[in-house]
């Protein structure tokens, strides 16, 4: 029960951490051959778990994010439930902590989702942001996330690697302007076409905060990072190339300049047209795919693009994904069949198994167990065939 959690029982020592026992995710993300595909799930800690809902009965969403002991507890819940089946943990937080740090109020409204009482409506509203003010510090504003990472890294006791994350600039800009979710993103897109200079200013400022934040997350204990460009697919290829890709590339370059060996993943949902550019024009080690692209085609396109640039950027890229999350509403047989098909489509190497997006509140937790078990077996079988 939530009331039994001791909020003072925390460990913020960053000088030493427990030795890692399961490094499968990290080895795969670095392009090494492995005995099977590692597996984890976006939103693996969340509302589909009854133990998470029990925490939320007594604690507002952002309180859970801001209390390191609570964030740690929620992060660990799926590791306990699916003991031995998950190969990574991802810190419980939210992409919207960056707009909060920059001075905007964000509320999490039950049944509705994120809500900004005073979003950015015109370029003049940029003056309300505090990130360029005297004394502003990313590390100070988001220290509670760092504390949650450090405490969770100790609590994991080396079971699996701990992932940190941020929302990407275009996605965060859209939330900051729309004031919440939107079917058309008309307000945010208006900035792209009517206030282009202001749009680039905001994107650059968000990218700067995001890069500093990710660097701080690694210092706090994160062992790998993911950047979520959740609304990439709302942009045309031309607009993605101008308003998303350069800032995704900037974030990776900034982080890699400080921590070159920390694996980084980019998830540009819906941006199939940009696979080649993400592979060759950025430094991400892993590209995460949603469920609407064939992994075989994605692998072929990425490898061909890298081969064309081998003299300039000799590197390989790992793919992550990509089961349709709604498959988990099916029966066990359907989940087993589709998961096995997914593993076969990705092949016997350079694959991190995941969903094509996050877990949903109505998912049955036991359906996720089926997915995890099949990934273990099917991906291992594929490697035995080779």
Phi, psi (rounded to 5 degrees) for 166: -145, 160
| pLDDT score for 2 | 43
| pLDDT score for 309 | 84
Angle at 41 between CA 39 and CA 43, to 5 degrees: 160
- DSSP per-residue codes, 46-93: STTSHHHHHHHHHS-HHHHHH-HHHHHHHHHHHHHHTTTT-S-EE-S-
| pLDDT score for 310 | 74
Q: How far is CA 255 from CA 76, 111, 174, 214, in A?
A: 26, 36, 23, 7
340-354 pLDDT, tens digit per residue, is 999 999 999 999 999
| pLDDT score for 1 | 39
Residue with tokens 């003072």: 8
Distance CA 259, CA 276 (A): 24
Q: Which residues are catalytic?
A: 43, 47, 56, 94, 175
91-148 pLDDT, tens digit per residue, is 999 999 999 999 999 999 988 899 999 999 999 999 999 999 999 999 999 999 999 9
- DSSP per-residue codes, 246-308: HHHHHHHHHHHHH-TTS-EEEEETT-GGGHHHHHHSS--SEEE--TTS-HHHHHHHHHHHHHH
Which has the closest alpha carbon to 98: 151, 167, 35, 45? 167
**How many C-beta atoms lie closer than 10 Å to residue 317's C-beta?**
22
| Alpha-carbon torsion, ordered 328, 330, 333, 339, to 10 deg | -30
Host H or E run for residue 189: helix 186-194
Distance CA 322, CA 287 (A): 11
Strands 264-268 and 113-115: unpaired
| pLDDT score for 313 | 67
Q: Which two tokens stand for residue 146?
A: 């760092």
Q: CB-based burial of residue 35 (10 Å sphere; 0-12 exposed, 13-18 middle, 19+ buried)?
A: exposed
pLDDT in tens, the chain (386 residues): 344 678 788 999 999 999 999 999 999 999 999 999 999 999 999 999 999 999 999 999 999 999 999 999 999 999 999 999 999 999 999 999 999 999 999 999 988 899 999 999 999 999 999 999 999 999 999 999 999 999 999 999 999 999 999 999 999 999 999 999 999 999 999 999 999 999 999 999 999 999 999 999 999 999 999 999 999 999 999 999 999 999 999 999 999 999 999 999 999 999 999 999 999 999 999 999 999 999 999 999 999 999 998 777 678 999 999 999 999 999 999 999 999 999 999 999 999 999 999 999 999 999 999 999 999 999 999 998 65
Distance CA 221, CA 252 (A): 18
Distance CA 91, CA 196 (A): 34
| pLDDT score for 4 | 64
Which has the closest alpha carbon to 283: 249, 316, 309, 306? 249
Instruction: Share the mean pLDDT of the chain.
Output: 96
């Amino acid at each position: 029960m939530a009331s039994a959690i001791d909020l003072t029982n925390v460990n913020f020592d960053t000088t030493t951490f427990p030795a890692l026992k399961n490094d499968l995710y990290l080895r795969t993300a670095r392009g090494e051959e492995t005995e099977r595909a590692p597996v984890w799930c976006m939103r693996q800690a969340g509302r589909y778990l009854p133990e998470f809902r029990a925490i939320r009965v007594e604690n507002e969403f952002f309180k859970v994010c801001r209390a390191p002991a609570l964030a740690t507890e929620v992060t660990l819940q799926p590791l306990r439930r699916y003991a031995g089946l998950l190969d990574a943990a991802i810190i419980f937080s939210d992409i919207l902590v960056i707009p909060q740090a920059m001075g905007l109020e964000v509320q999490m409204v039950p049944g509705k989702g994120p809500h900004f009482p005073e979003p950015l409506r015109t370029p003049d509203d940029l003056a309300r942001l505090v990130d360029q003010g005297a004394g502003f510090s990313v590390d100070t504003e988001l220290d509670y996330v760092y504390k949650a990472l450090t405490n969770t890294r100790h609590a994991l006791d080396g079971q699996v690697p701990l992932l940190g994350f941020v929302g990407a600039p275009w996605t965060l800009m859209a939330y900051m302007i729309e004031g919440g979710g939107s079917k058309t993103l008309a307000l945010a897109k208006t900035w792209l076409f009517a206030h282009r200079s202001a749009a680039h200013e905001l994107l650059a400022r968000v990218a700067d905060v995001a890069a500093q934040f990710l660097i701080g997350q690694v210092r706090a204990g994160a062992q790998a990072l993911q950047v979520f460009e959740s609304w990439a697919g709302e942009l045309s290829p031309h607009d993605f190339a101008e308003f998303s890709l350069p800032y995704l590339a900037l974030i990776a370059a900034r982080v890699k300049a400080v921590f070159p060996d920390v694996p980084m993943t980019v998830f540009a949902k819906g941006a199939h047209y940009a696979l080649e550019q993400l592979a060759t024009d950025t430094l991400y080690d892993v590209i995460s795919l949603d469920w609407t692209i064939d992994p075989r085609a994605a692998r072929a396109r990425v490898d061909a693009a890298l081969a064309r640039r081998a003299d300039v950027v000799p590197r390989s890229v790992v793919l992550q994904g990509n089961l349709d999350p709604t498959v988990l509403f099916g029966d066990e047989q359907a989940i087993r069949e589709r998961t096995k098909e997914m593993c076969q489509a990705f092949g016997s190497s350079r694959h991190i198994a995941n969903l094509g997006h996050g877990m949903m509140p109505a998912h049955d937790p036991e359906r996720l167990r089926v997915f995890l078990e099949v990934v273990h077996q099917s991906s291992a079988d594929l490697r035995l065939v080779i």
